[in-house]
Amino acid sequence: MTRNKRLRPWLLGLAVPGLLAMSSSVLAESTYFRYQNQESYRLDAAQVFRMRKAIPDVNLRKALKPLIGKTYYSEPVFVQALTKQLGEAIVERHQARLLEKARQPVKSLSIDVLNDDVLHIAFSSYPDNQALPTTELIDITSLAGDASVVKTKQGFATATLDVEVAPQSLCLTVTSKQRGQLSEICPGKGRSFSLASQGDYQLNGLGQEFHDPGVLNANWLGHKRHGGNKMEGFQGGGTGNTQFPVLYALNPQQKNYAVYLDTVYSAEWDFTRSPWQISQLESEPRLLFIAGDDLPDLRQQYMALVGNPLVPPRKLFGMWLSEYGFDGWQELDDKLVTLAEHHFPLDGVVMDLQWFGNVDAFSATSAMGTLTWDETHFPEPEKKIQQLKAQGIGMMLIEESYVSDGLQEHAKLAEEGFLVQERLTGQPIDSDPNGYGYWWGKGGMIDWTNPAAGSSWHDWKRQPLIEMGILGHWTDLGEPEMYNPQGVYAGGKSQNDVHNIFNYKWLESIYDGYQRNAVESRPFMMSRSGAPGIQRFGATMWSADIGTNVESLATQFSMQPNMMLSGMDYYSSDIGGFHRSALSVVPEQRKQVLNETYTQWFAYSSLFEVPVRPHTENLCNCKETAPDRVGDQASNLASIKLRYQLIPYLYALAHRAHLAAEPVYPSMEYYFGEDLQAHNLPAQKMMGQDLLGVAVAQLGQTAVDIYLPRGTWYDYRTGKAITSKGEWLSQVPLYQNQILTLPLYAREGAIIPVNPQQSMPMSSAVPLTLAARIYGKGGEFTLYEDDGATNAYLQGKVRKTTLSSRETPAGVALRVTTSGSYPDAPQRRPFHFAWFGLGEKVVSVTLNGQPVSEWRQQGGQLSIRHEALDVSDALNLEVEFE
């Protein structure tokens, strides 16, 4: 074989192949690159073991041990190595067998350059004039842009990256022109590849998989991340393992990158060895390699692939009461009465499966799948929904994918072919492969991968509930938790083909139903499982049936940063834990430990979760989950009051997440990536760019150490300024007057719109008063407000109020401008501003040149109030110092 013939496969698909050998670089005529290596030879231990009887002349395993795992890229070289180990006579007799066993298939590599920072990579052959395909989970068109691509002897280069491809191994080395080598990506055996990155890396993203109880660690380095949607036992409970196959690799030298594995199949990420190994259950891997300046750059490019979240209904930022489950309206009303008596605000209730009649284990007539109100225990549901709505309380209903096979719903779905089927008969397959049934009943499963099934079920069962006034949909058991592995889905697909997108298709069917039926209210779903992109349907996630203990709570802290980087801005938990049996303490300590666990959990969720949702298993009617009945009531009330005060700020962040992919709850390293001490601190989280909160999950803990990045920070509550050089605050108290008070800090320049209401009834609704807390002397924030319930915001019916502060020669100034509107928006508003960090004595406050009389300075805080003004008028507040 001549040298030119050996090179020809390697150059396959390049626009001007001959130029590579003559020039160090040349402008590329295409952004598609296709490579192919030569036939190669490699012996594995298993192959050698199986050949030992066919070649008895020698101790084959011992003789060939030095060759095992080595790759030889020509037949003569491989034969020479064999001869050295076995001798010429043995090789001559068994050469054909040895070559056959060792021969490796010719491999291909395909690369599309999407832009200067993003490569689409597949270790398989694709046409040189056709873009690589993608799954339905992503849309690469938003990343496709102009790329300055030139070919080089070793591969190609963009404006920011150098890419070298090894001709034989097809390993590609990606180097940042500014920061150095990022990674070497090599094809592996079967459906796998490896990543080799030198240096100290922190690895994030990849959805959720609970591990290491009680350890505060969001870094996957040193772990095996077993992807594939499922429920797993954890610390006495059951938590979700949810596959979002996006990896963020963060390096102290800012050699950061992300990898998105574009697959619907289960995948494993092995970070216990170097290089890191990634494999998937079926199909050849396709991936996107994303380079970027920092973590925000990487996440925004990922969000461009999967889509930004919709803005949740405003009420979802409040508290929602839930349990498994309310047996009737009377039990629910009893909880609502005492919450109001104890001055707890409430925005909604979540109804578990009792609402449709509960379930009977292993029964073909279990109510699972009726999705129809049990009016014996819940009479006149539409009237009740409207009564609750008048009290400011919305309702969310649970639903599942299972339908008992003795119900008329099952018969209708079976007739239309909308259930998962048996391969040979085309009839509905029993979800239990043993045919006995499950705890929920006995029957089949709706095939959400069939769009017609999703549409029919939505219009038949779900749409009437929406018309009753239901505000949200709780999709449970959607991994799916129980399934028959022999089931066949739409298009003849197998369980492996659809397993990780089953819940995605379910959520998509709800979103599509809202669009098809022109529903004015926003789609909102709370899901136990999912896949990349569910946020664009209006879905959030919670961590499933978590156990009641602080070890589980601490791990919840650690999963949230990874879920945020996976695209889930809203991630929550069963506050207090679903399985109270997981509280493993002696009986005499149980009440005290439960109360402290619940109080810490409720405080965390009130700061960082959407919705704030107490929930537990209470079939015995012997457990409490409402925050006035379990935990420290005074602490719980203080925690939820703080949450309601912050809703205007959080809701504005939700609009920024929708418009610009800015996370609502970023991790510390998101905005402080160059500060290594800010990395991997799961108990500390940001709220937008301007607030830093700290949580606790440790029994008996009364103080906490807090890291503050360089700059000036202010205690959110008191306004006390702290100047940090990038240092730890030691033993910051967690209790004030015996009330758990999680530390909360505002950055210099922060402007935090707030709800000024401090007494009942507190509300999540847009407050009439424009109120804000201002920290320091220079900053800006835009408050977004809308009707909070409908899709009108998508048509631009949003009010934006921009507040900007600055220093002046005489003092400080605040300018407030408003644009846009929405139906029933107040046209005149009073204002109340609390300005912290003003150490100088204030002598006057003017508004648009006129004196303001209602102001007061106490220490470093200035309070300014004014009666209602027309919102169309700009406000120019001038504060003059002595």
Q: How does DSSP assign 302-336, residue by residue?
A: HHHHH-PPPPPPGGGGSBEEEEBT--SHHHHHHHH
Q: Are strands 571-572 and 539-542 parallel, antiparallel or unpaired?
A: parallel
The CATH H-level superfamily of 108-306 is glycosyl hydrolase (family 31) (2.60.40.1760)
pLDDT in tens, 317-371: 999 999 999 999 999 999 999 999 999 999 999 999 999 999 999 999 999 999 9
Confidence of residue 144 (pLDDT cuts 50, 70, 90): confident
| Per-chain mean pLDDT for the chain | 94
Lowest mean pLDDT among 188-192, 461-465, 614-618, 751-755: 188-192
According to the model, what pLDDT value does residue 7 have?
26
Q: Residue 759: is its pLDDT beyond 70? A: no
Per-residue pLDDT, averaged over 791-816, amounts to 98
Q: Residue 165: is its pLDDT beyond 70? A: yes
Alpha helices in 345-473 (DSSP H): 381-390, 408-416, 451-457, 463-468
Q: Residue 503: is its pLDDT beyond 60? A: yes
Q: For the chain, what's the residue count?
A: 882
378-389 exposure pattern, b = at least 16 Cβ within 10 A, e = fewer? beebeebbeebe
Cis amide linkage into residue 275, ω under 30° from 0:
yes
According to the model, what pLDDT value does residue 757 have?
81
Q: Residue 597: is its pLDDT beyond 80? A: yes
Say how far apart CA 771 and CA 762 lie, in whole Å. Answer: 15
According to the model, what pLDDT value does residue 3 have?
28
Query: Where would I find the beta strands (DSSP E) of 37-157?
Result: 40-42, 71-72, 103-104, 108-115, 118-122, 150-152, 155-157
pLDDT in tens, 704-739: 999 999 999 999 999 999 999 999 999 999 999 999
171-193 exposure pattern, b = at least 16 Cβ within 10 A, e = fewer? bbbbbbeebebbbbbbbeeebbb
The residue extents of the domains of the chain are: 39-104, 108-306, 314-663, 766-882
Architecture per CATH, 766-882: Sandwich (2.60)
Domain 108-306 and domain 766-882 have a common topology: yes
CB 777 within 8 A of CB 837: yes
CB 487 within 8 A of CB 421: yes
Confidence of residue 758 (pLDDT cuts 50, 70, 90): low
Q: Residue 16: is its pLDDT beyond 50? A: no
Confidence of residue 27 (pLDDT cuts 50, 70, 90): low
Q: How far apart are the first and last CA of the chain?
A: 91
- Domain covering 314-663 assigned CATH 3.20.20.80 in the classification: yes
HSE value, Cβ hemisphere, 13 Å, CA-based, for 679: 17
pLDDT in tens, 437-456: 999 999 999 999 999 999 99
Q: Residue 252: is its pLDDT beyond 60? A: yes
Confidence of residue 25 (pLDDT cuts 50, 70, 90): low
CB burial of residue 248 (10 Å; 0-12, 13-18, 19+): buried
Q: Residue 17: is its pLDDT beyond 70? A: no
CB burial of residue 144 (10 Å; 0-12, 13-18, 19+): middle
According to the model, what pLDDT value does residue 789 have?
98
Say how far apart CA 62 and CA 52 lie, in whole Å. Answer: 10
The closest alpha carbon to 337, from 595, 628, 615, belongs to 628
Confidence of residue 26 (pLDDT cuts 50, 70, 90): low
For residue 717 the two structure tokens come to 């509550």
Per-residue pLDDT, averaged over 172-184, amounts to 97
Q: Residue 407: is its pLDDT beyond 60? A: yes
* pTM score, whole prediction: 0.93
Q: Residue 13: is its pLDDT beyond 80? A: no
CB 86 within 8 A of CB 58: yes
Share of the chain above pLDDT 90, in %: 90
For residue 105 the two structure tokens come to 């298939």
Q: CA 195: distance to chain centroid? A: 23
According to the model, what pLDDT value does residue 74 have?
85
Q: Residue 638: is its pLDDT beyond 80? A: yes
According to the model, what pLDDT value does residue 9 have?
31
Per-residue pLDDT, averaged over 64-71, amounts to 91
Tell me the sheet residues that pair with 394. 348
Tell me the sheet residues that pair with 828. 870
